[in-house]
Chains A and B, each alone.
Chain A
Amino acid sequence: MSLGAFAGTVAITGIAAAVALPAGIGAGVWLAEYAPEDGPGGLVRSFVGHMIAVPSVVYGLAGAALLGGLGGTVAAAGVTLGVLGLPLVVVATEQAVREVPDAFRQSARALGATRHQVVTGVVVPASGRRIAAGALLALVRCAGETAPLLLLGAALAPGDSGFAALPTHLYALASGPSAGAGAGIAVGLVLIVLAVHVLAARLRLAGRWA
């Protein structure tokens, strides 16, 4: 079951990445480079920022209601976790893009670049490592989420219908008679989180401007 659970988590995280990264990075760049400071830009910024505080179980409820037709599938879990990760990606991207020194933009404009050339050719590449760091942290958070998967019909026992994933597998083991059997998965999850956090910290450091 562990191997299937690992495959499930990889698939779910992959779908979550496909949902969260394009929209999240795009929205983050828009907020940093195009959105007016107040008015719609400010509203979007604060709404997305506050959605980070909303617990995962609420996202799970929404997923269960809206994606009920896909109940018990990796697709429903991946899309729900993608939406959960979306605000994290947006906020990290906006911050990374804002940290690019204005001298970069002004120099590019002075050399004749158009506004979109400045964004796609200078600003986004310059903030790429920090955007990647934020995206990695968002995805590892998605990979470890458990509560939404319980609401979306994760399989908890061998023979259950529904998808398997590492966090729900750990939950099922810990709720069973031999709870200690989950130790391997628990240690594995912690090591994955540590590795991704160290990698993200190095990326952030490498992408630093000041």
Chain B
Amino acid sequence: MTRERLVEGALLASAVATVAALGSVIAVVAWQGGRALLGLGALDPAALAGLRWGDGDLGLLAPLAGTTLVTAAAIALCLPFGYAAAVWLAFFARPGWQEPVRTGVGALAGIPSVVFGFVGVVWLAPLLEEAFGLPDGRVALNGAVLVALMAWPTVVVRGEAALRDVPAVQLDSAIALGATRFRGVTAVVVPAAWRGLAMAGVLGLVRALGDTMVVLMATGVATGPGGLLAPARTLTETVAAELPGADPAQRDALFAIGLLVLVVTYGLHVTATRRTGVLR
């Protein structure tokens, strides 16, 4: 009986330690970030614009606009290709191709973001300079293309899972009624899986929002957003660039930015997984 207790106790202790470690991440960011936000008095746009974190003290709204611009462009680029690849993998890929392609897509998701950032600096930037006659190719579009590539595997994997959740009898019935396989997939299966597909898109968005290195390296240095062909500054990038060397008040302001990123990504993930009931 004692050994029974020992095993269960050790496993329970691991779970408690895990929750404590992850909980402390949330607690400390909420504490320090909350301190900065409460210090502002009111949480209106004017006060948020006054959040001071160094480098011109641009407030919260400029990096928020930059994040919105880069993320929206990235998702617009990513979703069509992501859904198309998911449909192909689920219904049209030859059986022998599926496993290697899945491993490849998974590996693309595993490539460190600093490598994508490097590609943006040495390859995509000169390409954009030539195409658009820019003095420097490190602009919002550069980051958006690479972030789209980083979010793409998430949309493919989750999208394929959503499509596979649709009972096979629906496609079979459509085909039995005379539909082609393509027509059956696009007219029956895809609409039936729309909720799961939307959640796949949200999970891709979460991935895009969290990226730091691509936007730090490939979108240049900016004070505020100026369109897709201008440099952009995002929330995550601001934290990574400004924290080393920040004074205590500026540190708290950067934690407030981190808190915003934490709340938004966690919240989106809760919504995306609650509706579909899957956590992976």
A-side interface residues toward B, CB under 8 Å?
A: 22-27, 29-31, 33-35, 44-62, 64-66, 83, 86-87, 90-91, 95, 114-116, 119-120, 137, 140-141, 143-147, 150-151, 153, 167-168, 170-171, 174-175, 179-180, 182-183, 186, 189-190, 193-194, 196-198, 201, 205
Contacts and interface: CB of A to CB of B under 8 A. Distances in A.
Contact of B117 (A52, A66, A171): A171
Given A49-B269, A147-B213, A151-B243, 14 more contacts: A23-B17, A50-B266, A50-B269, A50-B273, A51-B22, A61-B258, A62-B26, A83-B22, A90-B18, A116-B6, A116-B8, A183-B118, A196-B110, A197-B107
Given A27-B14, A150-B240, A170 B29 contact: no
Interface string B186-217: 00000000000000000100100111110011
B15 A55 contact: no
A144 B243 contact: no
B98 to A, nearest CB: 12
A31 B15 contact: yes
B111 A53 contact: no
Given A48-B18, A65-B255, A146-B112, A174 B217 contact: yes
Given A29-B11, A60-B240, A95-B280, A54 B265 contact: yes
A58 B25 contact: yes
Contact of A55 (B6, B99, B110, B261): B261
Q: Which of B10, B25, B32, B111 has the largest number of chain A CB atoms within 10 A? A: B25
A141 B110 contact: yes
B273 A49 contact: yes
B12 interface: yes
Interface of B is mostly: helix
B4 A116 contact: yes
Contact of A34 (B11, B119, B258): B11
Q: Which 8 A-B pairs have the closest CB atoms?
A: A26-B14, A144-B112, A55-B210, A53-B269, A49-B279, A116-B7, A30-B11, A147-B212
A1 B151 CA distance: 32
Contacts of A25: 14
Nearest to A193: B110
Contacts, number: 222
**Contact-residue size bin, chain B (C-beta under 8 Å from the other chain):** 35 or more
Given A26-B15, A90-B18, A116-B3, A55 B115 contact: no
Interface in B250-266: 254-255, 258, 261-262, 265-266
A86 B261 contact: no
A60 B258 CA distance: 10
B14 A57 contact: no
B135 interface: no
Interface in B94-132: 99, 103, 106-107, 110-115, 117-119, 121-122
Which residue among A62, A91, A115, A137 has the maximum number of chain B CB atoms within 10 Å of its CB? A62
Contacts of A144: 110-115
B112 A189 contact: yes
A34 to B, nearest CB: 6
B272 to A, nearest CB: 8
B28 interface: yes
Contact of B243 (A64, A168, A170, A189): A64
A81 B6 CA distance: 29
29 contacts: A23-B14, A30-B11, A34-B8, A45-B279, A49-B280, A54-B265, A55-B210, A58-B25, A58-B29, A61-B28, A61-B29, A62-B25, A83-B21, A90-B18, A115-B4, A116-B3, A116-B7, A144-B110, A144-B111, A144-B115, A170-B118, A171-B117, A175-B121, A182-B118, A183-B118, A189-B115, A193-B110, A193-B112, A201-B103
Contacts of B180: none
B206 to A, nearest CB: 5
Contacts of A58: 25, 29, 258, 261-262, 265
B13 interface: yes
Interface in B213-234: 213, 216-217
